[in-house]
Structure 1
Amino acid sequence: MSRSAIKLHTPAGRKALDKMIHEAERKAQESAAARPGRAGAKPAAAGAATGAGEIRIIGGQWRRTRLAVAQKPGLRPTPDRVRETLFNWLGQDLTNWKVLDAFSGTGALGLEAASRGATSVIMNEQDAALVQQLQRLQQKLDARMLKIQRGDALSCLKTVTGQDLILLDPPFEQADLFEPAVKAAMSALNEGGYIYLEAPEAWSEERCLELGLELHRYLKAGAVHAHLLKKQ
């Protein structure tokens, strides 16, 4: 029975509408139970993709572009609010900048930098499936300024020089990666260049100064502590 055919002022019409609502609620409950992470759902294998996700480019030539990405355990794209704040701090326009995204993951940070005019964006990622995904996104956007490579982030940082911005977003559970990554980034950075560091805890001004960095900007958003560090 179509909705337009239901006569709500009659008992039969009200009964038909109640039946439709009940059926819609039942289907919604079945759909929710089948989603990953919900009760009754089959758990995903460790390290396997857990479904389709999405990132959205906020500014620049690809502004408002939505890109489908895999969702994997431990993968944590930088939230829109944090990315928007970061590029506000940097002045929005990255024309002629050289950028390195050392722990690319979904590519949200590196793609945002490329969209805002960066001349060169190296996107380094260790996971082979994520590297293939980045390559597909590069083709989709015809992003010729991107250089996508697979490898260890620390090794990458130690072999690159002349960068204006280095994006560091290591896995939060690998606490021993953060300080070595920042130290390696220092040698890859131009004088007056920036390091963006996303961490599970705040870094003090004193800790940054010991490494030769100025804590230029800081933001806490949920579990994310976002730091913009400037090379002195």
Structure 2
Amino acid sequence: MPRRNNSRSRRPAAPQPQSNVRIIGGEWRGRKLDFPAIEGLRPTPDRVRETLFNWLQAYVPGARCLDLFCGSGALGLEALSRGAASVTFVDQAPEVVRQLRSNLNSLKAQNAELIGNSVPTWLEQRSTNEEVRYDLVFMDPPFRKGLAAPVCALLEQHQLLADEALIYVETEVELQLEQLPHNWQLYREKQAGQVAYRLFMRQPGQQDID
């Protein structure tokens, strides 16, 4: 019996399913950008982003921003579109990093840094004498993984925040955020469906954790 030519039976890998996210304000308003449709990647909904950036409208221009668990990059890209001085994006998924790099190139963004690494690992490796102190942090960790509170603690422990930094934390609605730094004051809070989103304002002072 002749052997089957396996090379002919091989099919090219299916393309990665894509979704898209729309920038809702600023220089790139209305631009739609692709991101990989992978499990657990859920961009902040338009209505939540609109509310958040209404809260932040006086703080974004000129801000040094950090987008942790950035996924589609929706929050950091929105900040860049609205005049942020810079954004550092951090995510560990290679397909996320590749697509976000492509999107940043498409937008010709000159003030973005893209880090492909685990967020806790990257934060733990940061030196406390780094020059950058972030004015605005976006944090949207995977739901039900217990990452929010430890990452908040690392931001303080490694002295990565400006004196009056704002920290946005998006979580599953049932999560009660505990063990946060004492000098973080809740500034705004809302819910949308299964999502709870909170904005904290850092007060300079003692860096203890509950």
Which residue number in structure 2 is paired with residue 192 of structure 1? 164
SS, match of residue 174 in structure 1: coil
Cα displacement (A) at 1:155: 2.8
Question: What is the rounded CA distance, in whole Å, between the counterparts of 2:111 and 2:165 in structure 1?
Answer: 19
Question: What is the rounded CA distance, in whole Å, between the counterparts of 1:209 and 1:136 in structure 2?
Answer: 35
Which residue number in structure 1 is paired with residue 117 of structure 2? 151
Which residue number in structure 2 is paired with residue 53 of structure 1? 19
Question: What is the rounded CA distance, in whole Å, between the counterparts of 1:81 and 1:147 in structure 2?
Answer: 26
Which residue number in structure 2 is paired with residue 122 of structure 1? 88
- TM norm structure 1: 0.73
Cα displacement (A) at 1:212: 2.0
Cα displacement (A) at 1:188: 1.2
Deviations 1:181-202 (A, max 9, x none): 1111233111111110001136
- TM norm structure 2: 0.80
How high is the sequence identity, in percent, across the aligned residues?
Answer: 38
Cα displacement (A) at 1:92: 5.5
Cα displacement (A) at 1:208: 7.2
Q: Gapped runs of 5+ residues in structure 1?
A: 1-47
Identify the structure with bigger relative contact order (alpha carbons < 8 Å, sequence gap 6+).
Answer: 2
- The correspondence for 2:138, drawn from 167, 180, 191, is 167
Higher helix share: 1
Q: 2:152–2:180: 8 Å Cα contact kept in structure 1? A: no
- The correspondence for 1:215, drawn from 181, 186, 197, is 186
Q: Which amino acid aligns with 2:69?
A: F
Q: Gapped runs of 5+ residues in structure 2?
A: 1-13, 204-210
Q: 2:35–2:100: 8 Å Cα contact kept in structure 1? A: no
Task: Compare 182-191 and 94-103 and name the one that shifted more.
Answer: 182-191
User: What RMSD, in angstroms, separates the aligned Cα atoms of the two structures?
Assistant: 2.1
Closer, same or farther in 2 for the Cα pair 1:152/1:97, shift >3 Å? Answer: same
SS, match of residue 79 in structure 2: helix
Closer, same or farther in 2 for the Cα pair 1:173/1:92, shift >3 Å? Answer: same
SS, match of residue 120 in structure 2: helix
Deviations 1:60-117 (A, max 9, x none): 1001111122211111110001111111101266221100001111111111111111
Question: What is the rounded CA distance, in whole Å, between the counterparts of 1:147 and 1:196 in structure 2?
Answer: 19
Q: Which amino acid aligns with 2:38?
A: K
SS, match of residue 52 in structure 2: helix
Question: What is the rounded CA distance, in whole Å, between the counterparts of 2:106 and 2:16 in structure 1?
Answer: 23
- The correspondence for 1:228, drawn from 173, 189, 199, is 199
Which residue number in structure 2 is paired with residue 110 of structure 1? 76
| Aligned residue-pair number | 183
Question: What is the rounded CA distance, in whole Å, between the counterparts of 2:45 and 2:107 in structure 1?
Answer: 21
SS, match of residue 138 in structure 2: strand
SS, match of residue 118 in structure 1: coil
Question: What is the rounded CA distance, in whole Å, between the counterparts of 2:182 and 2:91 in structure 1?
Answer: 25
Question: What is the rounded CA distance, in whole Å, between the counterparts of 2:187 and 2:43 in structure 1?
Answer: 23
Q: Which amino acid aligns with 1:157?
A: L
Closer, same or farther in 2 for the Cα pair 1:49/1:223, shift >3 Å? Answer: farther
